Amino acid sequence: MPERKRPAHGARRPKAPATYRHPVPDHESIIAALRALGVPATLDDLAARLTLRDARRRQELARRLQQLTAAGRLLCNRRDEYCLVEKLDAVVIGVVSAHRDGFGFLVPDAGGEDVYLSAPEMRPLLDGDRVAVRLVGGGPRGRRAGAVVEILARGKQAVVGRYVREHGVGYVVEAGKSARHYIIPDHYRAAAEPGQFVKIEIITWPSATREAQGKVLRLLGNPEEDPAVATDAALEIFGLPATWPAQTRQAAAAWGSEVRESDKAGRRDLRDMPLVTIDGADARDFDDAVFAEPVGSGWRLVVAIADVSHYVRRGDALDEEAANRGTSAYFPDRVVPMLPEQLSNGLCSLNPQVDRLCMVCDMQVGRDGEVRDATFYRGVMRSRQRLVYDDVQAARDGHAESRARLQQVLPVIANLYGVYTGLARARARRGALDMELPETKIELGSNGHIERIGLRRRNDAHRLIEECMIAANVQAGRFLRRHRLPTLYRVHDGPDEEKFEILRLMLQALGVKVTAQARQRTRDLNQILVALQDRPDYPMLATSVLRTMAQAVYQPGNIGHFGLALPVYTHFTSPIRRYPDLLVHRGIGHVLDRGKPGGFAYDAATMEHLGKVSSTRERRAEEAARHVEARYKCIYARDHVGDLFDGVVTGVTHFGLFVTLADMNLDGLVHITGLGHDYFHLRHGGLRLEGERTGHSFGLGDRLRVRIVRVDVDNAKIDLALEPQPGAVRPQARGAARESRNRRRR
């Protein structure tokens, strides 16, 4: 091949070919061209308008038009013309949320009221699809209703469900809220057996006249035979990553198993300080240690947190995977950690009697619980002992065996309780919400099967650690705000006006006075919770109070934390399991290294993005955990069908009563047909069901004796039957029964 001649020095280079002089316009230019045309346009129309003549550029234009369509800015009509959505009247773009009963809702991208989608409209749609709908009139309960104009993007390519075989036809019923059926041709069955959970790839999308079809990718098993299958299924349903990329594993392994001597340089040596960790008996990673001693008229409180930021550097493989996961996810049978176990359970975890790197918040706390001063620094520590909540509380209460086991650290424990007394007083003065909601404790045997379900009881040892962590979190937020560094605050807004009014009416019907100030002042709202504490349905009512408020989120704009009654709050104390904590550590480290705000690696816009991602990941992990817990409860309840339990009415609807079995924190439904041979109607603002003929009445807080009669594991539903009490007349029914007798006598 002849060598190309280079132009002589100073000679003018030849002009680039015409194909490179006019690149394909960007998205905004395409939108502008459509606006200029003023009418819907085909690909040919737009190519001519933009003078794109060769096939390569027309292909690129087609790709960009598809991107704009998927983003919901354009629609392609039946004549293959591209239309500006902004020009289409009553068209709404959003994401589909399916309901098990066949209908669904469109959650608009722009916010506002959801759009009802009828069962016929939902037939070609899957949960999570992005679609455009046209508003067509009123739906049920006055909702906006929509008709599908265009499916912009499919929300998923694979689903998880139970394999069923009927009349020689195999299909999968999707797990979760959709319950859609996917036909599985026999040659795509992959040895799946009826009753097994499987993961399938969607190979044919549904239409108005045809069911979707799938191909089995993975056999998961049967949750009734192996409860761990419920967790496996949830990981797939919610898209939680359960394996580690090779680069991430290699990056974790590269740090080794022991702290290098070079990594300890320049740090304050705390190895002689008797720091202790206090956690649950089943905890596997320990990211916080505490120490306290009396100083002057108050206390010195040291909160040492695992220095994850030393090992996970911005932009490396560990950081990218941690940001993607956002948080660790906790299930009855396992933890899906944010960091590989080499770090989360090893090098970062503050295990006893080994050197560990830490970030320290060293505070001076007054007897009144107010933090007078706080200093942050990097340290190297050696946890003196790994303590368990119940053991610490037992030692505090004088239990001889626990005191003997914790003999070496008893002075530290006594000092920590002293600090806690002051911090608890400060919390009470602020009026922070005080909710002691029951937590379910699922105990598994060595074979992974459920041995027992009970309640996890909190004591002052739990509260002690909680208050120490809150104090450190507050000081971290103040430190970063004082140094004007972008960070993620943990913010919690007050009650929504409309939701609070519904709550107010409900509580007033129960005889609880609710002041108008309770919506703005945490203290007043907490007084309502205190007034409800002795009711047997307190957990439900406290949860109703919580639901009036927006979920706490991460964001760079600080609006304070309503629930804790704090003007500034952030998360600093759990960087092993929460990505926002890691970002807070990086900010503190930047200041300790004498960095200026302008030199920090993150700006407000980046923090805004990371806050939204972290908040979304947190909700995903919580939803997955609730999904699995509900299935584990049902698997356990299957072994108790026919057994009697004491319960409390925690929900009243037109179709029956929701009853919580108190000892297991397990919910079931007593259907209205099981309440007696009568017509029952909602009374007292929907808080009670009353029989028209008998006067029998059932309402919130009533204690009932019930029997488990049916369990649906897939849908997490438990049916209960009311156990009749021979000869007993319900207290609520006595007045009505007496009045009925008097009428007959008259």
What pLDDT does residue 725 have?
A: 61
State whether 583 and 561 are in the same domain: yes
* Judgement on whether residues 700 and 597 belong to the same structural domain of the protein: no
Tell me, yes or no, whether 528 lies in a domain.
no
Which of 153, 168, 203 is the C-terminal boundary of a domain?
153
Q: Domain of 31: which CATH number?
A: 1.10.10
Q: Where are the beta strands (DSSP E) in 13-56?
A: none
**478 part of a folded domain:** yes
Q: What share of the chain is helix, strand, coil (3-state, %, to 5)?
A: 35, 30, 35
* Cα end-to-end distance, the chain, whole Å: 119
**Domain containing residue 390:** 266-493+550-628
Q: What is the DSSP string of 276-342?
A: EEEE-TT-----EEEEEEEETTEEEEEEEEE-GGGTS-TTSHHHHHHHHH-B-EE-SS-EE-SS-HI
* Shared-domain flag, residues 97 and 37: no
Q: Give the span between the Cα atoms of 239 and 623, in whole angstroms.
A: 11
Establish if 45 belongs to a structural domain. Answer: yes
84, 100, 124 - which closes a domain = 84
**Number of domains present in the structure of the chain:** 5
User: What pLDDT does 726 receive?
Assistant: 53
| Same domain membership, residue 670 and residue 648 | yes
Distance CA 51, CA 44 (A): 10
The verdict on 678 and 725 lying in the same domain is: yes
Residues 469 and 569 reside in one and the same domain: yes
What pLDDT shows up at residue 417?
Answer: 97
In a domain, 118, yes or no: yes
Same domain as 280, residue 190: no
User: What phi and psi, each to the nearest 5 degrees, are found at residue 458?
Assistant: -95, 145
| Per-residue pLDDT, 13 | 43
Whether residue 397 sits in one domain with residue 291: yes
Question: What distance in Å separates the CA atoms of residue 650 and residue 659, rounded to the nearest whole number?
Answer: 6
Q: In this structure, is residue 635 part of a structural domain?
A: no
Sign of torsion over alpha carbons 678, 681, 684, 687: positive
- Give the domain-ending residue among 564, 597, 628: 628
Same-domain pairing of 57 and 191: no
Residue 498 lies in a domain: no
Q: 10-residue block means of pLDDT along the chain (746 residues)?
A: 43 40 78 88 89 87 87 79 80 90 89 90 93 83 84 91 95 87 95 95 94 96 94 94 95 96 97 97 92 96 98 97 97 96 96 97 97 98 97 96 95 97 96 90 92 92 98 98 97 93 89 88 92 90 91 96 97 98 98 95 95 96 96 95 94 94 90 92 90 92 95 94 64 41 41
Residues 361 and 474 in one domain: yes
pLDDT of residue 595: 95
The reply to whether 532 falls in a domain is: no
| Residues 35 and 97 reside in one and the same domain | no
Same domain, 176 and 60: no
CATH code for the domain of 709: 2.40.50.140
Q: Is residue 343 part of a domain?
A: yes
**What pLDDT sits at residue 84?**
85
pTM of the model: 0.85
Contacts of the segment 523-530: beta carbons below 8 A, 24+ positions apart: 523/430, 523/431, 523/565, 524/431, 525/433, 525/495, 526/431, 526/432, 526/433, 526/434, 527/431, 529/433, 529/434, 529/435, 530/434
